[in-house]
């Protein structure tokens, strides 16, 4: 058996490394024959240029101007990174539970635990205001490409071009505000700056919570089920927009559909996808594959491990910890599976073929070749230079995964340096420095963060780096953590104050390990960051030229990358093959019960106890989730899923694992949007939670 295994590995080595030509076909893929597909760049259509003829040809559906206006103005940008929609004339808003999850603890009264118990306001006066939450309704769209590109052409250097661009953008926003003072304006870059649009938004900033289910009902299965399908989550939330203390009245909202979905039915997602990099060149994609994603996967894996351990140690009863765990778990799955996609030779071959066809189209046109022909080589050169210092920049940077002690050290060192250079007064220094030590500090958690930081140093610095030698040397990370914490002055508020009282020189020359970290890295880090910023500025211009070139070659046939702004994505309800079987297009509440009992009612498959004795009128066979081929990414959470009549059939809340290629390429073989069914939401709201006021408003589109 051992000999056979060795022989197999030898054969694989010879094929993959000695004979790369055979490697191209060994796994059934001949990369030289792989071709880019029609929709590799996606289907996130802008409302500036929706592909009406394509919709008509593909679905027999050509939306009128009035219907498109309804789509646009019924949809909303929600909070800092989600989507939503109006679903009644009285300002009722639908989005995902996970889009408000972080806000819920801030509005609790007394002993309430909304994440654990859910929330329902039976009347207007009980709808709970969520501070600092806003929604944005896109009202005006205006093409301003010519104005901005003309301004940029006046610049002689990359920095000047960007400065002139930003100045013109400010002017355009100011002009928009003068004409429409009730709106808030943004300038949106499309095709990396190949086109620009001025967007005017109506902003509602009095948003009140109406209903959310319990966290374990909304996100049954937690991280194990995240980005998977079949799925069983009631990931919904309902809120209301107010003005002048009263619910708003709106002419633009989506009606509810009570018929459900069928296979191959056309459906549309109207939402705000956050960002994609599908226009990126192969040099940029390979940089992400080789440098960026391995770093992020390692870091998020470590952070997830920290919080997973803490959640289990607290018997999954601390809901703030669980929410934090879910956030890191979500990020880990995104980065890990996007990284796997970047290692897929079939995906890479499709991207290479697109770049080959695109660059040939440019180079075969003499006029375009003069202006755009060198883009690919210049970006490749820039990315190659970026590789040189990328790991060291990452290792030297203090970020959210770093222990608080490093933040204290960094700020203390910088304030003291400013005082020594007479850049701030002694009074201001005292005010800033004495506030540096946090009021609450979880020593065990900071110890875990320090492990993370040291692991990042170990993985990304060369063995002869002085910082690595001083902080870790030949010790294990566990031992290094123990030594650093025992030597540091910054782990105790009392010792920290003693250090402050010793004066500038003692602080700046302290042998405290955290101050040493800052002192020994910050000058080199700033130099590397400045050099990197110059490359970023240069690539920003090159990326804009790339977008211009793309638009000149393909026009509106290719939609621009996602920009966190409103898009219309078409697709159909469709199953796919997985695990040697086939997915159903929909799941039911029976499936949720099966997860609950099959995993012995244990976290994260636990449901509230009442699921063991459901009301007679509640029908567990009702569809709960369904899937479609729509093109979505992060930011689309909370997007309405509508039929050709503009009626709500679902609520987008996730993608499956196969969708995580979407940052770089859109595929339809198994990439699916996962949605909460409109039927499932109304069944739960009406017959499980007995929220009759809300269910009536949803079904009628207004308050009775």
Q: Tell me which residue has tokens 């963060």.
A: 449
CATH topology (fold) of 63-134+205-271+568-653+665-700:
Thrombin, subunit H (2.40.10)
- What pLDDT is stored for residue 601 in this prediction? 97
Count Cα neighbours of 665 within 13 Å in the Cβ-side half-sphere: 28
3, pLDDT greater than 50? no
- What pLDDT is stored for residue 4 in this prediction? 37
Summarize pLDDT for 344-376 with one digit per residue, the tens.
Answer: 999 999 999 999 999 999 999 999 999 999 999
User: H helices within 563-626, ranges in order?
Assistant: 589-598
170, pLDDT greater than 70? yes
Average pLDDT over residues 575-580: 95
For residue 84, what is the enclosing H or E element?
A: strand 82-86
> Residues 165, 537: contact at Cβ < 8 Å?
no
Residue among 508, 513, 503 at smallest CA distance from 468: 513
Whether the bond between 703 and the residue before it is cis, its omega within 30 degrees of 0, is: no
What Cα–Cα distance (Å) separates residue 429 from each residue in 119, 219, 227, 435, 504?
Answer: 46, 47, 48, 10, 11
Say what the pTM is: 0.89
- What pLDDT is stored for residue 80 in this prediction? 85
**How many C-beta neighbours within 10 Å does residue 375 have?**
19
Give the domain ranges of the chain: 1-30, 63-134+205-271+568-653+665-700, 282-396, 404-523
Return mean pLDDT, the chain: 94
Using pLDDT thresholds of 50, 70 and 90, give the confidence band for residue 26: very low
Cα radius of gyration (the chain)? 27
Average pLDDT over residues 679-704: 97
Question: Long-range contact list for 177-182, CB < 8 A, 24+ apart?
Answer: 180/139, 180/140
- What pLDDT is stored for residue 28 in this prediction? 55
- What pLDDT is stored for residue 29 in this prediction? 62
How far apart CA 463 and CA 475 sit, in angstroms, is 13
**The token pair that represents 605 in the structure block:** 């498959």
- What pLDDT is stored for residue 30 in this prediction? 73
Helices 375-396, 345-363: inter-axial angle, 10-degree rounding: 140
> Residues 361, 251: contact at Cβ < 8 Å?
no
Average pLDDT over residues 162-187: 97
DSSP three-state, residue 559: coil
- What pLDDT is stored for residue 345 in this prediction? 95
Using pLDDT thresholds of 50, 70 and 90, give the confidence band for residue 23: very low
- What pLDDT is stored for residue 19 in this prediction? 42
Burial class (CB in 10 A: 0-12, 13-18, 19+), 125: exposed
- What pLDDT is stored for residue 571 in this prediction? 98
Average pLDDT over residues 587-593: 98
Using pLDDT thresholds of 50, 70 and 90, give the confidence band for residue 31: confident
- What pLDDT is stored for residue 326 in this prediction? 94
For residue 411, what is the enclosing H or E element?
A: helix 404-420
In the chain, % of residues over pLDDT 90: 94
Using pLDDT thresholds of 50, 70 and 90, give the confidence band for residue 8: very low
**The token pair that represents 52 in the structure block:** 């009406």
Summarize pLDDT for 80-110 with one digit per residue, the tens.
Answer: 899 999 999 999 999 999 999 999 999 999 9
In the chain, % of residues over pLDDT 70: 96
């Amino acid at each position: 058996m051992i000999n056979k295994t060795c022989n197999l590995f030898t054969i694989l080595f010879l094929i993959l490394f000695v004979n790369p030509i055979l490697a191209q076909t060994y796994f059934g893929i001949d990369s030289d024959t792989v071709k880019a597909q029609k929709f590799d760049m996606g289907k996130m259509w802008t409302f500036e240029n929706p592909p009406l003829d394509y919709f008509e040809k593909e679905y027999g559906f050509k939306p009128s101007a009035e219907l498109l206006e309804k789509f646009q103005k019924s949809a909303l940008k929600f909070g800092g990174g989600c989507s939503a929609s109006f679903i009644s004339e009285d300002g009722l808003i639908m989005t995902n539970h996970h889009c408000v999850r972080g806000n819920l603890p801030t509005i609790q009264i007394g002993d309430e635990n909304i994440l654990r118990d859910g929330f329902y306001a039976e009347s207007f006066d009980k709808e709970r205001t969520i501070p600092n939450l806003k929604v944005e309704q896109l009202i005006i769209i205006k093409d301003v490409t010519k104005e901005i590109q003309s301004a940029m052409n006046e610049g002689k250097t990359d920095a000047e071009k960007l400065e002139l661009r930003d100045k013109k953008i400010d002017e355009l926003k100011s002009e928009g505000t003068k004409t429409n003072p009730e709106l808030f304006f943004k300038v949106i870059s499309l095709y990396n700056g190949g086109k620009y649009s001025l967007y005017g938004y109506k902003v509602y900033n009095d948003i009140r919570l109406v209903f959310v289910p319990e966290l374990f009902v909304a996100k049954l299965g937690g991280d194990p089920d995240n980005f998977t399908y079949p799925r069983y989550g009631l990931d919904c939330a309902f809120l209301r927009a107010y003005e002048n203390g009263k619910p708003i009245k709106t002419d633009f909202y989506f009606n509810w559909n009570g018929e459900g979905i069928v296979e191959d039915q056309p459906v549309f997602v109207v939402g705000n996808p956050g960002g994609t990099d599908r226009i990126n060149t192969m040099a940029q994609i390979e940089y992400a594959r080789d440098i960026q994603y391995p770093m992020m996967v390692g870091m998020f894996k470590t952070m997830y491990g920290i919080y997973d351990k803490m959640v289990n140690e607290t018997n999954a009863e601390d809901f703030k910890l669980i929410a934090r765990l879910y956030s890191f778990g979500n990020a880990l799955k995104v980065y890990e599976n996007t990284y796997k996609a970047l290692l897929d030779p079939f995906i890479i071959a499709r991207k290479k073929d697109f770049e080959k066809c695109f660059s040939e189209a440019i180079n075969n046109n003499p006029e375009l070749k003069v202006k755009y022909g060198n883009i690919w080589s210049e970006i490749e050169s820039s990315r190659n230079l970026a590789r040189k210092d990328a790991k060291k920049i990452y290792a030297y940077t203090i970020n959210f995964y770093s222990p608080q002690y490093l933040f204290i050290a960094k700020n203390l060192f910088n304030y003291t340096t400013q005082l020594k250079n007479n850049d701030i007064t002694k009074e201001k220094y005292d005010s800033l420095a004495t506030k540096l030590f946090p009021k609450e500090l979880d020593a065990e958690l900071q110890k875990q963060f320090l492990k993370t930081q040291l692991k990042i140093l170990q993985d990304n610095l060369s063995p002869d780096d002085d910082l690595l030698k001083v902080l870790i040397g030949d010790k294990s990370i566990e031992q290094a953590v123990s030594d650093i914490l025992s030597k540091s002055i910054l782990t105790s508020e009392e010792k920290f104050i003693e250090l402050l009282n010793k004066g500038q020189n003692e602080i700046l020359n302290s042998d405290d390990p955290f101050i040493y970290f800052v002192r020994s890295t910050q000058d080199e880090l700033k130099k590397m960051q400045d050099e990197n910023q110059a490359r970023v500025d240069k690539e920003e211009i090159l990326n804009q030229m790339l977008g211009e070139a793309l638009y000149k070659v393909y026009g509106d046939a290719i939609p621009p990358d996602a920009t966190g702004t409103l898009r219309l994505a078409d697709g159909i309800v469709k199953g796919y093959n997985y695990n040697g079987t086939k997915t159903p297009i929909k799941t039911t509440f029976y499936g949720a019960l099966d997860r609950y009992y099959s995993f012995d009612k244990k976290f994260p498959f636990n449901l509230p106890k009442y699921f063991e004795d459901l009301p007679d009128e509640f029908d567990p066979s009702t569809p709960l989730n369904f899937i479609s081929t729509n093109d979505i990414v992060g930011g689309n959470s909370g997007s309405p899923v509508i039929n050709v009549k503009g009626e709500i059939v679902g609520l987008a809340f996730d993608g499956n694992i196969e969708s995580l290629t979407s940052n770089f390429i859109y595929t339809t073989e198994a990439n699916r949007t996962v949605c909460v069914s409109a039927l499932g939401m109304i069944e739960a709201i009406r017959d499980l939670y007995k929220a009759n006021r809300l269910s009536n408003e949803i079904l009628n589109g207004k308050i009775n």
